[in-house]
């Protein structure tokens, strides 16, 4: 789907946020970008989204550059419009593409149900919990049926119970939607639980160090599965090596 080759990004002021980063994304991937803060994870995500341009290297899309709506983006904060209801927040991307409310609502309601928010269509962000707001944010990213879903530490601010539930639900949504996910996190546990490919990044300058493949089978007991524990251990060891 996308080939990122030897991309570099140098911010004014001399911060080398990325150097020589290469990565290939294929249809249906679930990639975690894992690394300590400041290693250029967000920068790489913004480059993929086209919100920022690289100083070096290139991003090559199979079949041409993405159109608006091909990419969904979820930030660390839910970043909802506080004056808009859940359904109007999810309607926003379709509205920006010129759809009328009436035409969009069936899709909007379907995606809200898919993230577990059936019945909360008319709620305002301030009436929802942090986890529910994040669900609205995910629904907003999914409503255009994107081919690529970019998520920047979306669950970092949530409590552990909510985070676990959202992680499991995200995997269901990913399987249902069949899109590619690039998920930024600084949690080894989260990366190991979610991703098929764990990409380890290191700071100063931001680099992609290595990649760990996962064959973890997901089910209700995954978090207690020795295979999960082994993957966490392997990832932690890899990260420690990379940071040497």
Partner 1 sequence: MKWAPALFGLLALALWEGAVRIGEVPVYILPGPIAVVSAFVADPVGLLQSLGSTLFVTFAALIVAAVLGVAMAVAMSASRLAQAAIQPWAVALQVTPLPAIAPLIIIWVGDPFVALVVCATIVAFFPLFANTATGLASPPPELNDLFRLYGASRWRTMALLRLPAALPYFLSGLRISGGLALVGAVVAELVAGSGGFASGLAYRILEASFRLEMPRMFAALVLLALAGILLNFGLGAVGQAILRRRGLA
Ligand X SMILES: Nc1ncnc2c1ncn2[C@@H]1O[C@H](COP(=O)(O)OP(=O)(O)O)[C@@H](O)[C@H]1O
Residues that bind ligand X (CB under 6 A): 11, 13, 15, 17, 35, 37-43, 206
Q: Least distance from C-beta 145 to Mg ion, angstroms?
A: 26
Q: Least distance from C-beta 43 to ligand X, angstroms?
A: 3
Convert residues 39-78 into a mask of x (bound to Mg ion by CB under 5 A) and - (unbound): ---x------------------------------------
Task: Give CA–CA dist 224/112, Å, rounded.
Answer: 30
CB 44 within 8 Å of CB 50:
no
Query: Which is nearer to partner 1, 20 or 70 (by Cβ)?
Result: 70
Residue 234 interacting partner from ligand X, Mg ion, partner 1, none (CB closer than 5 to 8 Å by kind): none
Closest residue to bound Mg ion by CB: 42
Strands of the 15-25 sheet, one edge to the other: 15-25, 2-11, 56-61
Q: Least distance from C-beta 120 to ligand X, angstroms?
A: 30
Task: Give CA–CA dist 244/241, Å, rounded.
Answer: 5
Identify any residues that bridge with 104 across adjacent strands, giving them in sequence order. none
Q: Least distance from C-beta 35 to ligand X, angstroms?
A: 6
Non-local CB neighbours of 224 within 8 Å, separated by 6+ positions: none
CB 29 within 8 Å of CB 180:
yes
Binding positions for Mg ion, rule: CB under 5 A: 42
């Amino acid at each position: 789907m996308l080939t990122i080759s030897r991309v570099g990004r140098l911010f004014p002021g001399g911060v080398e946020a990325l150097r020589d980063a290469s990565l290939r994304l294929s249809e249906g991937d679930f990639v975690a970008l894992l690394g300590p803060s400041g290693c250029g994870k967000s920068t790489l995500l913004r480059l993929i989204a086209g919100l920022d341009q690289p100083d070096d290297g290139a991003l090559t899309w199979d079949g041409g550059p993405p159109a608006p709506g091909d990419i969904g983006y979820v930030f660390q904060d839910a970043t909802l419009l506080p004056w808009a209801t859940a359904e109007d927040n999810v309607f926003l991307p379709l509205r920006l593409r010129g759809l009328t409310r009436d035409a969009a609502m069936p899709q909007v309601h379907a995606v809200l149900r898919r993230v577990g928010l059936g019945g909360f269509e008319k709620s305002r962000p301030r009436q929802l919990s942090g986890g529910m707001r994040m669900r609205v944010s995910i629904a907003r990213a999914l409503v255009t049926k994107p081919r690529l879903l970019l998520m920047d530490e979306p669950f970092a601010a949530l409590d552990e119970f909510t985070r676990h539930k959202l992680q499991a639900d995200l995997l269901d949504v990913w399987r249902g939607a069949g899109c590619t996910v690039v998920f930024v996190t600084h949690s080894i546990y989260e990366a190991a639980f979610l991703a098929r490919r764990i990409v380890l990044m290191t700071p100063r300058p931001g680099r992609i160090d290595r990649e760990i493949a996962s064959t973890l089978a997901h089910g209700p007991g995954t978090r207690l599965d020795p295979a999960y524990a082994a993957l966490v251990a392997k990832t932690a060891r890899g990260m420690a090596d990379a940071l040497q």
